[in-house]
Structure 1
Amino acid sequence: MPKQKTHKGTAKRVRVTGSGKLVREHTNNQHKFEVKSSGRKRRVSGIGVLSKADAPRMKKLLGL
């Protein structure tokens, strides 16, 4: 049986924390900041934890 390959698109976007949670960057945080409110920019900055429903599927793509 062939080895399972890591989905590279997912690997570039999602990473695993020390406790095993999956984290990702928020969307809408790359460009066109002039039209976004300050609150919206603060809200999308930093990282967010992936939902429990999506975690198993992403772990499979990452080969975990």
Structure 2
Amino acid sequence: MPKQKTNKSVFKRVKITGSGKILRKHQLGSGHLKRNKSKGALNRQKKTSEFFKGEGKRLRKVIGL
């Protein structure tokens, strides 16, 4: 049976920690309409955040972990 290919577009958008957690590289909703948001809100959205448990399980299959 052939191996499953890694989904490269997903792999580039996430970071995998040493303990196996999957982090998104930036928060959702930070693409546009930034003029209305405060500087603090924009800085908070730059931080990486962990995916929810269900999303993490699905992403592990897509990435091939």
TM-score, normalized by length of structure 1? 0.81
Mapped to 2, the partners of 1:13 and 1:29 lie a distance apart of 14
1:17 aligns with 2:14: no
Once the two structures are TM-superposed, the CA of residue 45 in structure 1 deviates from its matched residue by 1.4
* 1:10-59 deviation per Cα after TM superposition (whole angstroms, max 9, x unaligned): 11111210111000121233455322222321221110011112111000
Counterparts of 1:1-64 in structure 2 under 5 Å? Answer: 1-24=1-24, 25-64=26-65
Partner of 1:5, secondary structure, is coil
Q: Percent identity?
A: 41
Partner of 2:57, secondary structure, is helix
TM-score, normalized by length of structure 2? 0.80
Gapped regions of structure 2 (runs ≥ 5): none
Tell me which moved more, 43-52 or 29-38.
29-38
Instruction: Count how many residue pairs are aligned between Structure 1 and Structure 2.
Output: 64
Across the aligned residues of Structure 1 and Structure 2, the Cα RMSD in angstroms comes to 1.6
